[in-house]
Amino acid sequence: MSAPEATGERPKHNPLTETLFKGLSLSAALLVLATLGAIIAMLVVGAWPALQKFGFFRFLVTAEWNPVTETFGALTPIYGTLVTSAIAIIIGLPVSFGIALFITELCPVWLKRPVSTAIELLAAIPSIIYGMWGLFIFAPFFSETIQPWLTDTLGQVPVIGALFDGPPIGVSVFTAGIILAIMIIPFISSVMRDVFETVPRELRESAYGLGCTTWEVMWKVVLPLTRAGVVGAVMLGLGRALGETMAVTFVIGNSHDFNIGLFWPGNSIASTIANEFTEADGEIYTASLIALGLVLFMITFIVLSLARLMLARMAKTYGGKS
């Protein structure tokens, strides 16, 4: 035991070290804000010629994209981005939750590490490999087996049947959504697994001792305690899906024709920028592509804001802080 601890004295602090630490922390925070502000300013300045010509609202709701006549609209890429990301979350979230539940609650000890390692290896695969696999392997299989079945079943349902319309060519908005789901599952499931494991084992054992089932323990004990981490995992996966470029470019079809049907080729904001930025000729063409980047930035900001709002409402409901 040191002398200050033996005598009960408080250790002396170095004012210079404390000031230096506060200064470095403040500088790091300001650097993040300055970088964010610089990105926003660059996007606004670069997109201004297009926004000035078309108008922001008109640019958002126009589906035509014609470099020859210099008429550009973001409706088709926006629709493709939102729909593919929604499909990815609808498919990927339940699967990721099941994986995390299995690893933390049901998996035998000898199998836990191999399964966890396999999931993490999926996250390490480059996105272009997912795109190539989707184009050459999954797209033909999907067009020959899954798509005809979906068209014959869900395609006949009133109202939603129009969503399951399109030619059986494999590359489509729906195919891109499935590939994105496969890509985001490792990220969401890994984060969920980690946050589930932070719950004290005593709480789980107490719930099991009261007669709760595994599902009741997860739903009534684990999830309320880890809701912030779970929402963060979903937002991580959604952010990956919104901004994914190469894998989507391979399988979405890269068509600027607007179609509600999920089996038609489409486009996303990221794939449009990646495909056409090097070919953009003229101020308006380049500014329109930068404007798409600005729209993607705004979509991401809105999604993150809604996530924070949802966490605040959940914290109020459970009477705690997220």
Q: What are 122-133's pLDDT values in tens digits?
A: 888 999 999 999
Tokens 């004990």 found at: 221
Average confidence (pLDDT) over 146-150: 92
| Gap between the Cα atoms of 168 and 148, Å rounded | 8
Q: Is residue 28 part of a domain?
A: no
pLDDT above 70 (res 2): no
Least confident of 49-53, 262-266, 312-316: 312-316
Least confident of 50-59, 145-154, 306-315: 306-315
Burial tier of 184 (Cβ tally within 10 Å: 0-12, 13-18, 19+): buried
| Gap between the Cα atoms of 96 and 115, Å rounded | 13
- Where b means 16+ CB within 10 Å and e means fewer, 97-125 reads bebbbebbeebeeeeeeebbeebeeeeee
Q: What are 259-301's pLDDT values in tens digits?
A: 999 999 999 999 999 999 888 888 999 999 999 999 999 999 9
How confident is residue 12, by pLDDT bands cut at 50, 70 and 90?
low
The 3-state DSSP composition of the chain as helix, strand, coil percent (nearest 5) reads 80, 0, 20
Phi, psi torsion values for 319, nearest 5 degrees: 75, 25
Average confidence (pLDDT) over 23-51: 94
What is the domain count for the chain?
1
Strand 65-66 relative to strand 71-72, pairing: antiparallel
Q: Is residue 42 part of a domain?
A: no
Instruction: Report DSSP letters for 14-56, one per residue.
Output: -HHHHHHHHHHHHHHHHHHHHHHHHHHHHHHHHHHHHHHHH-H
The residue range of the domain holding 130 is 54-318
Q: Which helix (H) or strand (E) holds 65?
A: strand 65-66
Q: What are 64-123's pLDDT values in tens digits?
A: 999 989 999 999 999 999 999 999 999 999 999 999 999 988 888 888 889 988 888 888
- For 41, 112, 173, 215, 240, the CA distances from 84, given in Å and listed in that order, are 28, 31, 6, 30, 11
- Can you give the CATH number for the domain in which 139 is found? 1.10.3720.10
Residues ≥6 apart with Cβ < 8 Å to 157: none
| Gap between the Cα atoms of 19 and 133, Å rounded | 53
Average pLDDT across the chain, whole number: 89
Q: What are 181-212's pLDDT values in tens digits?
A: 999 999 999 999 999 988 888 888 888 888 88
Give pLDDT, residue 63.
92
